Structure 1
Protein backbone atom coordinates (compact mmCIF):
# COMPACT_ATOMS: atom_id res chain seq x y z
CA UNK A 1 0.00 0.00 0.00
CA UNK A 2 2.74 2.38 0.90
CA UNK A 3 4.78 1.39 -2.19
CA UNK A 4 1.82 1.98 -4.48
CA UNK A 5 1.24 5.42 -3.00
CA UNK A 6 4.92 6.37 -3.48
CA UNK A 7 5.00 5.23 -7.12
CA UNK A 8 1.78 7.05 -7.93
CA UNK A 9 3.02 10.20 -6.33
CA UNK A 10 6.33 10.02 -8.23
CA UNK A 11 4.64 9.63 -11.61
CA UNK A 12 2.36 12.53 -10.91
CA UNK A 13 5.24 14.85 -10.11
CA UNK A 14 7.19 13.93 -13.28
CA UNK A 15 4.16 14.57 -15.49
CA UNK A 16 3.57 18.02 -14.00
CA UNK A 17 7.21 19.10 -14.41
CA UNK A 18 7.23 18.54 -18.21
CA UNK A 19 4.22 20.73 -19.06
CA UNK A 20 5.79 24.10 -18.14
CA UNK A 21 8.85 23.30 -20.25
CA UNK A 22 6.74 22.46 -23.29
CA UNK A 23 4.59 25.56 -22.87
CA UNK A 24 7.68 27.71 -22.49
CA UNK A 25 9.07 26.41 -25.78
CA UNK A 26 5.81 27.20 -27.59
CA UNK A 27 5.56 30.68 -26.10
CA UNK A 28 9.19 31.40 -26.97
CA UNK A 29 8.64 30.32 -30.57
CA UNK A 30 5.56 32.51 -30.84
CA UNK A 31 7.44 35.49 -29.46
CA UNK A 32 10.33 34.98 -31.88
CA UNK A 33 7.95 34.69 -34.83
CA UNK A 34 6.10 37.78 -33.61
CA UNK A 35 9.29 39.80 -33.36
CA UNK A 36 10.34 38.71 -36.86
CA UNK A 37 6.91 39.56 -38.29
CA UNK A 38 6.83 42.98 -36.61
CA UNK A 39 10.35 43.70 -37.84
CA UNK A 40 9.40 42.76 -41.38
CA UNK A 41 6.29 44.92 -41.20
CA UNK A 42 8.32 47.85 -39.89
CA UNK A 43 10.79 47.41 -42.73
CA UNK A 44 7.96 47.29 -45.24
CA UNK A 45 6.30 50.37 -43.73
CA UNK A 46 9.60 52.25 -43.67
CA UNK A 47 10.32 51.44 -47.31
CA UNK A 48 6.83 52.51 -48.36
CA UNK A 49 7.13 55.78 -46.43
CA UNK A 50 10.53 56.49 -47.99
CA UNK A 51 9.21 55.80 -51.49
CA UNK A 52 6.24 58.07 -50.85
CA UNK A 53 8.49 60.85 -49.55
CA UNK A 54 10.75 60.58 -52.62
CA UNK A 55 7.72 60.67 -54.91
CA UNK A 56 6.34 63.75 -53.15
CA UNK A 57 9.71 65.47 -53.39
CA UNK A 58 9.90 64.78 -57.13
CA UNK A 59 6.39 66.12 -57.62
CA UNK A 60 7.21 69.26 -55.61
CA UNK A 61 10.37 69.85 -57.65
CA UNK A 62 8.44 69.48 -60.90
CA UNK A 63 5.72 71.85 -59.64
CA UNK A 64 8.10 74.60 -58.55
CA UNK A 65 10.16 74.18 -61.71
CA UNK A 66 7.06 74.78 -63.80
CA UNK A 67 6.04 77.76 -61.60
CA UNK A 68 9.41 79.50 -62.09
CA UNK A 69 9.17 79.62 -65.88
CA UNK A 70 9.81 83.11 -67.27
CA UNK A 71 6.94 84.75 -69.15
CA UNK A 72 7.64 87.84 -71.27
CA UNK A 73 4.87 90.44 -71.42
CA UNK A 74 4.98 93.67 -73.39
CA UNK A 75 3.29 96.32 -71.23
CA UNK A 76 4.15 99.20 -73.54
CA UNK A 77 1.03 101.03 -74.73
CA UNK A 78 0.12 104.32 -76.39
CA UNK A 79 -0.34 105.72 -72.88
CA UNK A 80 3.18 104.81 -71.76
CA UNK A 81 4.59 106.31 -74.99
CA UNK A 82 2.78 109.60 -74.31
CA UNK A 83 3.87 109.70 -70.66
CA UNK A 84 7.50 108.99 -71.58
CA UNK A 85 7.43 111.67 -74.26
CA UNK A 86 5.96 114.61 -72.33
CA UNK A 87 6.04 114.02 -68.55
CA UNK A 88 9.33 115.94 -68.19
CA UNK A 89 7.54 119.03 -69.51
CA UNK A 90 5.24 119.00 -66.47
CA UNK A 91 6.57 121.21 -63.66
CA UNK A 92 5.64 122.34 -60.18
CA UNK A 93 4.82 125.99 -59.49
CA UNK A 94 5.45 127.56 -56.05
CA UNK A 95 3.74 130.72 -54.83
CA UNK A 96 5.98 132.56 -52.33
CA UNK A 97 4.58 135.44 -50.28
CA UNK A 98 6.59 137.75 -48.04
CA UNK A 99 6.11 137.47 -44.29
CA UNK A 100 7.47 140.12 -41.93
CA UNK A 101 9.38 139.15 -38.80
CA UNK A 102 11.83 140.72 -36.35
CA UNK A 103 15.38 139.43 -36.46
CA UNK A 104 18.49 140.62 -34.61
CA UNK A 105 20.04 144.03 -35.19
CA UNK A 106 18.52 144.29 -38.64
CA UNK A 107 15.09 144.83 -37.14
CA UNK A 108 12.04 143.90 -39.21
CA UNK A 109 12.79 141.65 -42.18
CA UNK A 110 10.77 139.90 -44.85
CA UNK A 111 11.06 136.32 -46.01
CA UNK A 112 9.31 134.50 -48.84
CA UNK A 113 7.07 131.77 -47.41
CA UNK A 114 5.49 129.10 -49.57
CA UNK A 115 1.79 129.99 -49.74
CA UNK A 116 0.64 127.51 -52.38
CA UNK A 117 1.68 125.09 -55.08
CA UNK A 118 0.32 123.99 -58.44
CA UNK A 119 1.19 122.39 -61.75
CA UNK A 120 2.42 123.86 -65.00
CA UNK A 121 3.55 122.82 -68.47
CA UNK A 122 6.58 124.00 -70.44
CA UNK A 123 5.17 124.74 -73.88
CA UNK A 124 7.92 126.61 -75.72
CA UNK A 125 11.56 127.74 -75.62
CA UNK A 126 12.73 131.01 -77.15
CA UNK A 127 16.42 131.79 -76.94
CA UNK A 128 17.55 131.29 -73.36
CA UNK A 129 14.03 131.47 -71.89
CA UNK A 130 11.41 128.73 -71.48
CA UNK A 131 7.70 129.48 -71.07
CA UNK A 132 5.34 127.78 -68.63
CA UNK A 133 1.54 127.88 -68.56
CA UNK A 134 -0.18 127.46 -65.20
CA UNK A 135 -3.38 128.55 -63.41
CA UNK A 136 -4.01 132.15 -62.41
CA UNK A 137 -5.28 131.06 -59.00
CA UNK A 138 -1.91 129.33 -58.35
CA UNK A 139 0.13 132.54 -58.74
CA UNK A 140 -2.47 134.91 -57.26
CA UNK A 141 -1.03 137.19 -54.54
CA UNK A 142 2.55 135.99 -55.03
CA UNK A 143 5.62 138.10 -54.28
CA UNK A 144 7.98 135.55 -55.79
CA UNK A 145 7.53 132.49 -58.00
CA UNK A 146 9.59 129.32 -58.38
CA UNK A 147 9.32 126.35 -60.70
CA UNK A 148 10.51 122.80 -59.97
CA UNK A 149 11.78 120.86 -62.98
CA UNK A 150 11.62 117.12 -63.68
CA UNK A 151 15.01 116.49 -62.04
CA UNK A 152 13.93 118.31 -58.87
CA UNK A 153 15.76 121.63 -59.39
CA UNK A 154 13.88 124.71 -58.22
CA UNK A 155 14.53 127.79 -60.34
CA UNK A 156 13.22 131.38 -60.10
CA UNK A 157 10.30 132.26 -62.35
CA UNK A 158 8.92 135.55 -63.63
CA UNK A 159 5.28 136.31 -64.36
CA UNK A 160 4.66 137.24 -68.00
CA UNK A 161 0.91 137.73 -67.65
CA UNK A 162 -2.30 136.25 -66.26
CA UNK A 163 -6.01 136.14 -67.07
CA UNK A 164 -8.56 135.77 -64.30
CA UNK A 165 -11.34 134.97 -66.79
CA UNK A 166 -9.71 131.83 -68.17
CA UNK A 167 -7.76 131.12 -64.95
CA UNK A 168 -4.48 130.99 -66.88
CA UNK A 169 -1.03 132.50 -66.28
CA UNK A 170 2.25 132.40 -68.19
CA UNK A 171 5.66 132.29 -66.51
CA UNK A 172 9.17 132.36 -67.88
CA UNK A 173 12.28 130.57 -66.56
CA UNK A 174 15.88 130.02 -67.62
CA UNK A 175 15.93 127.42 -70.41
CA UNK A 176 19.33 125.98 -69.45
CA UNK A 177 17.92 122.84 -67.78
CA UNK A 178 14.87 122.45 -70.03
CA UNK A 179 15.00 119.42 -72.34
CA UNK A 180 11.32 118.67 -73.05
CA UNK A 181 8.55 120.85 -74.43
CA UNK A 182 4.90 119.84 -74.81
CA UNK A 183 3.06 120.71 -78.02
CA UNK A 184 -0.47 122.09 -77.87
CA UNK A 185 -3.18 120.21 -79.71
CA UNK A 186 -6.39 121.55 -81.21
CA UNK A 187 -9.40 120.96 -78.98
CA UNK A 188 -11.72 121.52 -81.95
CA UNK A 189 -10.55 118.18 -83.33
CA UNK A 190 -11.39 116.17 -80.19
CA UNK A 191 -14.27 113.71 -80.11
CA UNK A 192 -16.12 112.22 -77.17
CA UNK A 193 -14.71 108.80 -76.31
CA UNK A 194 -11.08 109.61 -77.14
CA UNK A 195 -8.51 108.81 -74.43
CA UNK A 196 -7.69 111.60 -71.96
CA UNK A 197 -4.35 111.47 -70.10
CA UNK A 198 -3.75 113.91 -67.24
CA UNK A 199 -0.28 114.51 -65.75
CA UNK A 200 0.25 116.88 -62.83
CA UNK A 201 1.33 117.41 -59.23
CA UNK A 202 -1.60 116.73 -56.89
CA UNK A 203 -0.86 117.82 -53.31
CA UNK A 204 2.41 119.44 -54.34
CA UNK A 205 5.84 118.08 -55.33
CA UNK A 206 5.50 114.98 -53.15
CA UNK A 207 3.31 113.44 -55.86
CA UNK A 208 4.98 115.10 -58.84
CA UNK A 209 3.96 113.99 -62.34
CA UNK A 210 1.06 111.79 -61.26
CA UNK A 211 -0.64 110.17 -64.26
CA UNK A 212 -4.38 109.53 -64.52
CA UNK A 213 -6.33 108.12 -67.46
CA UNK A 214 -9.87 108.51 -68.71
CA UNK A 215 -11.79 109.56 -71.79
CA UNK A 216 -13.15 112.76 -73.27
CA UNK A 217 -16.69 112.64 -71.94
CA UNK A 218 -17.94 115.65 -73.89
CA UNK A 219 -16.70 118.77 -75.68
CA UNK A 220 -17.85 122.40 -75.56
CA UNK A 221 -19.31 122.22 -72.07
CA UNK A 222 -20.40 125.57 -70.59
CA UNK A 223 -19.57 126.17 -66.92
CA UNK A 224 -20.79 129.30 -65.06
CA UNK A 225 -18.01 131.20 -63.27
CA UNK A 226 -18.40 133.51 -60.26
CA UNK A 227 -15.17 135.51 -60.09
CA UNK A 228 -16.07 137.83 -57.21
CA UNK A 229 -17.80 135.34 -54.93
CA UNK A 230 -20.97 137.42 -54.75
CA UNK A 231 -23.22 134.64 -56.00
CA UNK A 232 -23.61 136.27 -59.41
CA UNK A 233 -22.42 134.55 -62.60
CA UNK A 234 -19.74 136.71 -64.23
CA UNK A 235 -19.30 134.62 -67.35
CA UNK A 236 -19.50 131.08 -68.78
CA UNK A 237 -16.30 129.15 -69.47
CA UNK A 238 -16.21 126.68 -72.35
CA UNK A 239 -14.41 123.54 -71.21
CA UNK A 240 -13.82 119.88 -72.01
CA UNK A 241 -15.47 117.26 -69.82
CA UNK A 242 -13.36 114.22 -68.88
CA UNK A 243 -13.57 111.42 -66.33
CA UNK A 244 -9.79 111.37 -65.75
CA UNK A 245 -9.14 112.09 -62.05
CA UNK A 246 -8.29 115.81 -61.78
CA UNK A 247 -8.20 118.17 -58.81
CA UNK A 248 -7.28 121.84 -58.48
CA UNK A 249 -3.57 121.11 -58.24
CA UNK A 250 -3.39 118.81 -61.26
CA UNK A 251 -5.87 120.82 -63.34
CA UNK A 252 -3.38 122.67 -65.52
CA UNK A 253 -1.09 119.69 -65.80
CA UNK A 254 -0.78 118.17 -69.22
CA UNK A 255 -4.12 116.83 -70.42
Structure 2
Protein backbone atom coordinates (compact mmCIF):
# COMPACT_ATOMS: atom_id res chain seq x y z
CA UNK A 1 0.00 0.00 0.00
CA UNK A 2 1.01 3.57 -0.62
CA UNK A 3 0.61 6.57 1.65
CA UNK A 4 -1.77 9.23 0.42
CA UNK A 5 0.28 12.28 -0.70
CA UNK A 6 0.02 15.12 1.78
CA UNK A 7 -1.02 17.95 -0.55
CA UNK A 8 -2.37 21.15 0.98
CA UNK A 9 -5.82 21.83 -0.57
CA UNK A 10 -4.91 25.53 -0.47
CA UNK A 11 -2.65 26.35 -3.41
CA UNK A 12 -1.93 29.98 -2.53
CA UNK A 13 -2.53 31.84 0.71
CA UNK A 14 -2.17 35.62 0.86
CA UNK A 15 -3.40 36.76 4.27
CA UNK A 16 -7.16 36.17 4.41
CA UNK A 17 -7.23 35.31 0.69
CA UNK A 18 -6.94 31.59 0.01
CA UNK A 19 -6.94 30.04 -3.44
CA UNK A 20 -7.84 26.35 -3.37
CA UNK A 21 -6.56 23.80 -5.83
CA UNK A 22 -10.13 22.71 -6.56
CA UNK A 23 -11.03 26.22 -7.68
CA UNK A 24 -7.90 26.35 -9.84
CA UNK A 25 -9.02 23.12 -11.52
CA UNK A 26 -12.20 24.88 -12.65
CA UNK A 27 -10.08 27.70 -14.05
CA UNK A 28 -7.86 25.21 -15.91
CA UNK A 29 -10.92 23.51 -17.37
CA UNK A 30 -12.49 26.71 -18.64
CA UNK A 31 -9.24 28.23 -19.91
CA UNK A 32 -8.33 25.02 -21.74
CA UNK A 33 -11.77 24.84 -23.34
CA UNK A 34 -11.56 28.53 -24.29
CA UNK A 35 -8.12 28.12 -25.90
CA UNK A 36 -9.05 25.04 -27.92
CA UNK A 37 -12.46 26.45 -28.79
CA UNK A 38 -10.90 29.56 -30.30
CA UNK A 39 -8.81 27.36 -32.57
CA UNK A 40 -11.96 25.79 -34.01
CA UNK A 41 -14.30 28.80 -33.88
CA UNK A 42 -14.43 29.04 -37.68
CA UNK A 43 -16.18 25.65 -37.80
CA UNK A 44 -19.28 27.31 -36.38
CA UNK A 45 -18.89 30.51 -38.34
CA UNK A 46 -18.09 32.28 -35.08
CA UNK A 47 -15.39 34.76 -34.24
CA UNK A 48 -12.77 33.66 -31.68
CA UNK A 49 -14.13 36.27 -29.27
CA UNK A 50 -17.55 34.55 -29.36
CA UNK A 51 -16.03 31.54 -27.60
CA UNK A 52 -15.74 33.57 -24.39
CA UNK A 53 -19.47 34.29 -24.60
CA UNK A 54 -20.15 30.58 -25.16
CA UNK A 55 -18.10 29.63 -22.10
CA UNK A 56 -19.96 32.18 -19.99
CA UNK A 57 -23.21 30.43 -20.87
CA UNK A 58 -21.54 27.09 -20.17
CA UNK A 59 -20.18 28.20 -16.80
CA UNK A 60 -23.64 29.25 -15.65
CA UNK A 61 -25.00 25.90 -16.79
CA UNK A 62 -22.27 23.97 -14.97
CA UNK A 63 -22.62 25.82 -11.67
CA UNK A 64 -26.41 26.13 -11.52
CA UNK A 65 -27.15 22.73 -13.03
CA UNK A 66 -24.43 21.03 -11.02
CA UNK A 67 -25.67 22.37 -7.69
CA UNK A 68 -29.36 21.82 -8.42
CA UNK A 69 -28.57 18.32 -9.69
CA UNK A 70 -26.59 17.49 -6.55
CA UNK A 71 -29.46 18.66 -4.36
CA UNK A 72 -32.02 16.60 -6.29
CA UNK A 73 -29.96 13.45 -6.90
CA UNK A 74 -27.80 13.25 -3.78
CA UNK A 75 -29.38 15.47 -1.12
CA UNK A 76 -33.14 15.48 -1.70
CA UNK A 77 -33.92 14.79 1.97
CA UNK A 78 -31.82 17.74 3.09
CA UNK A 79 -33.35 19.96 0.42
CA UNK A 80 -36.89 19.11 1.52
CA UNK A 81 -35.95 19.70 5.14
CA UNK A 82 -34.27 23.03 4.42
CA UNK A 83 -34.71 24.46 0.88
CA UNK A 84 -32.13 27.18 1.62
CA UNK A 85 -29.47 24.47 1.97
CA UNK A 86 -29.13 24.49 -1.82
CA UNK A 87 -27.36 27.86 -1.54
CA UNK A 88 -24.83 26.52 0.99
CA UNK A 89 -22.37 25.58 -1.73
CA UNK A 90 -19.66 24.87 0.85
CA UNK A 91 -21.78 22.01 2.21
CA UNK A 92 -22.19 19.20 -0.29
CA UNK A 93 -21.00 19.28 -3.84
CA UNK A 94 -21.80 19.37 -7.52
CA UNK A 95 -23.36 16.73 -9.74
CA UNK A 96 -21.93 16.04 -13.19
CA UNK A 97 -25.28 14.85 -14.51
CA UNK A 98 -27.00 17.99 -13.24
CA UNK A 99 -24.22 20.10 -14.73
CA UNK A 100 -24.69 18.33 -18.06
CA UNK A 101 -28.38 19.22 -18.12
CA UNK A 102 -27.45 22.81 -17.26
CA UNK A 103 -24.91 22.96 -20.09
CA UNK A 104 -27.45 21.55 -22.57
CA UNK A 105 -29.92 24.28 -21.61
CA UNK A 106 -27.17 26.90 -21.91
CA UNK A 107 -26.20 25.48 -25.32
CA UNK A 108 -29.81 25.73 -26.48
CA UNK A 109 -29.95 29.41 -25.50
CA UNK A 110 -26.56 30.19 -27.05
CA UNK A 111 -27.50 28.36 -30.26
CA UNK A 112 -30.69 30.41 -30.57
CA UNK A 113 -28.78 33.64 -30.00
CA UNK A 114 -26.22 32.86 -32.70
CA UNK A 115 -28.62 31.03 -35.05
CA UNK A 116 -26.81 27.71 -34.82
CA UNK A 117 -28.25 24.22 -35.00
CA UNK A 118 -28.34 22.69 -31.52
CA UNK A 119 -26.39 19.53 -32.38
CA UNK A 120 -23.96 21.57 -34.45
CA UNK A 121 -23.07 23.41 -31.24
CA UNK A 122 -23.04 20.38 -28.93
CA UNK A 123 -20.73 18.53 -31.35
CA UNK A 124 -18.39 21.50 -31.09
CA UNK A 125 -18.57 21.60 -27.30
CA UNK A 126 -18.24 17.87 -26.58
CA UNK A 127 -14.45 17.54 -27.20
CA UNK A 128 -13.81 20.53 -24.92
CA UNK A 129 -15.62 19.12 -21.89
CA UNK A 130 -13.12 16.39 -20.85
CA UNK A 131 -10.53 19.05 -20.01
CA UNK A 132 -12.68 20.29 -17.15
CA UNK A 133 -13.73 16.78 -16.16
CA UNK A 134 -10.14 15.61 -15.86
CA UNK A 135 -9.04 18.72 -13.99
CA UNK A 136 -11.97 18.35 -11.61
CA UNK A 137 -10.96 14.78 -10.75
CA UNK A 138 -7.46 15.97 -9.90
CA UNK A 139 -9.11 18.51 -7.60
CA UNK A 140 -11.09 15.69 -5.98
CA UNK A 141 -7.86 13.76 -5.42
CA UNK A 142 -6.11 16.71 -3.80
CA UNK A 143 -9.13 17.34 -1.54
CA UNK A 144 -9.19 13.69 -0.37
CA UNK A 145 -12.63 13.34 -2.00
CA UNK A 146 -14.26 10.33 -3.69
CA UNK A 147 -12.35 7.62 -1.81
CA UNK A 148 -12.18 4.26 -3.51
CA UNK A 149 -13.31 0.88 -2.26
CA UNK A 150 -11.09 -1.28 -0.09
CA UNK A 151 -8.52 -3.26 -2.08
CA UNK A 152 -5.15 -4.96 -1.76
CA UNK A 153 -3.74 -3.96 -5.17
CA UNK A 154 -0.11 -2.77 -5.01
CA UNK A 155 -1.07 0.82 -5.81
CA UNK A 156 -3.76 1.04 -3.09
CA UNK A 157 -3.74 4.30 -1.15
CA UNK A 158 -4.42 4.86 2.54
CA UNK A 159 -6.85 7.77 2.60
CA UNK A 160 -6.77 10.11 5.63
CA UNK A 161 -9.38 9.17 8.22
CA UNK A 162 -10.32 5.89 6.49
CA UNK A 163 -9.20 3.36 9.16
CA UNK A 164 -5.80 2.73 7.57
CA UNK A 165 -7.23 0.47 4.86
CA UNK A 166 -5.84 0.52 1.33
CA UNK A 167 -8.30 1.82 -1.24
CA UNK A 168 -8.51 2.31 -4.99
CA UNK A 169 -7.46 5.83 -6.08
CA UNK A 170 -10.79 6.07 -7.89
CA UNK A 171 -10.54 9.79 -8.62
CA UNK A 172 -7.35 9.11 -10.58
CA UNK A 173 -9.08 6.31 -12.50
CA UNK A 174 -11.78 8.81 -13.41
CA UNK A 175 -9.16 11.40 -14.37
CA UNK A 176 -7.66 8.95 -16.85
CA UNK A 177 -10.97 7.73 -18.27
CA UNK A 178 -13.15 10.86 -18.19
CA UNK A 179 -10.30 13.26 -18.82
CA UNK A 180 -7.41 11.82 -20.83
CA UNK A 181 -9.07 8.95 -22.73
CA UNK A 182 -12.36 10.75 -23.39
CA UNK A 183 -10.55 13.83 -24.69
CA UNK A 184 -8.31 11.75 -26.97
CA UNK A 185 -11.29 9.89 -28.45
CA UNK A 186 -13.53 12.92 -29.00
CA UNK A 187 -10.80 15.25 -30.24
CA UNK A 188 -9.52 12.66 -32.72
CA UNK A 189 -12.98 11.75 -34.01
CA UNK A 190 -14.06 15.39 -34.32
CA UNK A 191 -10.98 16.25 -36.40
CA UNK A 192 -12.83 14.82 -39.40
CA UNK A 193 -16.24 16.39 -40.18
CA UNK A 194 -19.09 14.13 -39.06
CA UNK A 195 -22.83 14.12 -39.37
CA UNK A 196 -24.48 16.31 -36.79
CA UNK A 197 -25.14 14.62 -33.50
CA UNK A 198 -22.51 11.90 -33.92
CA UNK A 199 -19.83 13.46 -31.69
CA UNK A 200 -22.45 14.40 -29.08
CA UNK A 201 -23.77 10.84 -29.06
CA UNK A 202 -20.25 9.46 -28.77
CA UNK A 203 -19.64 11.71 -25.77
CA UNK A 204 -22.77 10.40 -24.04
CA UNK A 205 -21.87 6.76 -24.70
CA UNK A 206 -18.21 7.04 -23.72
CA UNK A 207 -18.71 9.15 -20.61
CA UNK A 208 -21.64 7.04 -19.47
CA UNK A 209 -19.66 3.81 -19.95
CA UNK A 210 -16.51 5.21 -18.30
CA UNK A 211 -18.48 6.52 -15.33
CA UNK A 212 -20.42 3.26 -14.98
CA UNK A 213 -17.20 1.22 -14.87
CA UNK A 214 -15.27 3.58 -12.58
CA UNK A 215 -18.10 3.54 -10.03
CA UNK A 216 -17.23 -0.10 -9.27
CA UNK A 217 -13.96 1.16 -7.75
CA UNK A 218 -15.44 4.18 -5.97
CA UNK A 219 -16.98 4.19 -2.51
CA UNK A 220 -20.76 4.80 -2.79
CA UNK A 221 -22.00 8.16 -1.56
CA UNK A 222 -22.38 7.68 2.22
CA UNK A 223 -25.80 9.35 2.39
CA UNK A 224 -27.17 7.03 -0.31
CA UNK A 225 -25.19 3.81 -0.37
CA UNK A 226 -26.17 1.35 -3.08
CA UNK A 227 -29.40 2.29 -4.83
CA UNK A 228 -30.48 -0.87 -6.65
CA UNK A 229 -29.77 -4.62 -6.59
CA UNK A 230 -27.30 -4.14 -3.77
CA UNK A 231 -24.51 -2.99 -6.09
CA UNK A 232 -25.69 -0.12 -8.32
CA UNK A 233 -24.83 3.44 -7.26
CA UNK A 234 -26.62 6.66 -8.09
CA UNK A 235 -23.82 7.57 -10.51
CA UNK A 236 -24.36 4.31 -12.39
CA UNK A 237 -28.14 4.72 -12.52
CA UNK A 238 -27.77 8.24 -13.91
CA UNK A 239 -25.22 7.05 -16.48
CA UNK A 240 -27.42 4.33 -17.98
CA UNK A 241 -29.85 6.82 -19.63
CA UNK A 242 -26.81 8.68 -20.98
CA UNK A 243 -25.54 5.56 -22.72
CA UNK A 244 -28.96 4.75 -24.20
CA UNK A 245 -29.47 8.35 -25.35
CA UNK A 246 -25.99 8.35 -26.89
CA UNK A 247 -26.64 5.14 -28.83
CA UNK A 248 -29.95 6.54 -30.10
CA UNK A 249 -28.31 9.84 -31.10
CA UNK A 250 -25.50 8.09 -32.98
CA UNK A 251 -28.05 5.95 -34.83
CA UNK A 252 -30.13 9.03 -35.67
CA UNK A 253 -27.10 10.98 -36.89
CA UNK A 254 -25.94 8.19 -39.17
CA UNK A 255 -29.34 7.88 -40.85
CA UNK A 256 -30.78 11.39 -40.62
CA UNK A 257 -28.04 13.77 -39.57
CA UNK A 258 -26.83 16.62 -41.75
CA UNK A 259 -23.35 16.13 -43.16
CA UNK A 260 -21.44 19.16 -41.87
CA UNK A 261 -18.68 18.65 -44.42
CA UNK A 262 -21.19 19.06 -47.25
CA UNK A 263 -22.70 22.11 -45.55
CA UNK A 264 -19.29 23.78 -45.41
CA UNK A 265 -18.55 23.06 -49.03
CA UNK A 266 -21.86 24.49 -50.24
CA UNK A 267 -21.67 27.46 -47.88
Same fold (TM over 0.5): no
More helix by share: 2
Structure with higher RCO (Cα < 8 A, 6+ apart): 2
TM-score by length of 1: 0.23
TM-score by length of 2: 0.23
Say which one has the larger Rg. 1
